[in-house]
Amino acid sequence: MSSATLTMDAAEPSRPAINPWIIALAVTLATFMEVLDTSIANVALPHIAGSLSAGTDESTWVLTSYLVSNAIVLPLSGWISSIIGRKRFYMSCVALFTVSSLLCGLAPNLAMLIFFRVLQGAATESRWLWPRRSGPLSADGSLTTTPGAGFSL
């Protein structure tokens, strides 16, 4: 009887602790919010300039600061994630992006808005870490070699 129980237990597939679709939804939602934020800033630039009494040349720093910050953090993001872990780095970047988005909305002047956009740009680099190597991700965020066992980003 015990040998039959052992074979039945061994045949049962293991289930991940967290549903992989929840992880896929969280990663996709965060990436969508970043793209949406960039699009909104581009479209709203004339309104931002008017609301903060800034010229067109000054208001383009809202976009430029974001992109420059993003470019500076890009080479550092792999190193940071290797120290603190990809999942922890990703989650801290999502939190920083969310807080800096709120602060951008509350910015009283152009200088503060530019500063908070720099924080946003630094926080968006985590999205490049998930497809670290080509291959699907498993539910815990690590690469898997089993076909159909993960999702690809």
Q: For residue range 47-90, what is the model confidence (pLDDT) as tens digits?
A: 999 998 899 889 999 999 999 998 898 888 888 888 998 888 88
Helices 110-123 and 86-106 cross at an angle (nearest 10°) of: 160
With beta carbons less than 8 A apart as the criterion, state whether 129 and 97 touch: no
Q: Is residue 135 part of a domain?
A: no
Q: Is residue 153 part of a domain?
A: no
CA 110 to chain centre: 25
Distances (CA, A) of 7 to 13, 15, 94, 110: 12, 17, 44, 67
Q: What is the dihedral sign for C-alpha 18, 20, 23, 25?
A: negative
Give tens-digit pLDDT for 118-134.
999 998 876 655 544 44
Number of domains in the chain: 1
Q: Is residue 55 part of a domain?
A: yes
- What's the domain range around 110? 19-128
Select the more confidently predicted residue: 26 or 58. Answer: 58
Name the band, by pLDDT with cuts 50, 70 and 90, for residue 140: low
Q: Is residue 144 part of a domain?
A: no
Q: Is residue 72 part of a domain?
A: yes
With beta carbons less than 8 A apart as the criterion, state whether 137 and 88 touch: no
Q: Is residue 73 part of a domain?
A: yes
